Every structure is written in C-alpha cells, then in structure tokens.
Amino acid sequence: MTTPDYATYIAGLPRVLAGAAALFRDDEGRVLLVEPNYREGWALPGGTVESDEGETPRQGARRETLEEIGLDLPIGRLLAVDWVSGAARPPIVAYLYDGGVLTEEQFASIRLQESELLSWRLVPPADLPRYLLGSLGHRVAAALDVLVEGTGTAELENGRRADIR
C-alpha cells in the first residue's frame, strides 16, 4: 500500500468556508444592517474571507466593511464564532467582530456597494428578528449579549450557544 503525498492528502480533506462581519451600532444601541440585492433578508457588513489570498477573518471583516459601506475602520474584538452547517454548500465558520459605535459623521459618509446592496438602516435590537434570517439573527443576538455581559466570545453552532459540558 502506498501513502498519498501531502498535496493529495490536503486536496482530499473536507472544505469549510469562512465568513466575517462587523457589528456596528449607533449611540442608541441600534444595529447597522445592509439589504443585499442577491438574497432575502438583511445582513451585517461582511462576507467571505479570501483565504486563497492569505486574508484572515479580521482582515476580511475590515475589507468587506470598506467595500460594502465605504468605511475603513479598525475592527474590534471577536464577539462570536459560529459553525453553520449546510446541505447545499460546505459548512461555514462565521466570525462576528465588534465594529463599535459609529458617529453621525460616519453614518453620513456611508456609501453602499451598489453592485451588492440596495440600502442600509439602523434597527433596534428588539426588531432584529424581523430582518435577520436563520442563524444570523441568533448570532447577532449572542454578540449583543456578549457586549452587554462584557464576557469573552460566544461559541455558536448554527446560531445557538454551543453545549459545553
């Protein structure tokens, strides 16, 4: 029996996608959401991490923020990491970072990526379930809890807190 070379071994491993987003708020605690033109529901500024380019999740969140809303801002701490299973696609590891509280001037300077986004809005936390579908809504709720609690990072599986015993 022959042993496959390392490249063959790596090529045969399961694929996992990585996504990264930033959670921006205003001074009233409302969350900045963007409306994609390519799918139902609203989202946070973010997207797929370009790991083939050597990009890290934190770098991806910053790049996506610049591309999608035109703001080049430092990305804060990791609030949540979510393993999201998929039947029609590989699983996704979604990283959600604290984008911080934006000023009125920063909101006024938002410029949408028109090829992907229709609009943006500020949404009170209580109204988020009407806008955020599936695991994303749970992920954002967990991240907001982390901010309120002042705790570390929420570990999630399909948007729900991981059962760690």
Q: Which CATH superfamily is domain 17-161 in?
A: Nucleoside Triphosphate Pyrophosphohydrolase (3.90.79.10)
pLDDT value, residue 12: 79
Q: Which amino acid is at 142?
A: A
Instruction: Show me where the domains of the chain are located.
Output: 17-161
CB atoms < 10 A from the CB of 163, how many? 7
Tens-place pLDDT, residues 102-111: 999 999 999 9
Place of tokens 């934006």: 102
pTM of the complete model:
0.91
Tens of pLDDT, residues 22-76? 999 999 999 999 999 999 999 999 999 998 889 999 999 999 999 999 999 999 9
Cα distance between residue 49 and residue 58, in whole Å: 9
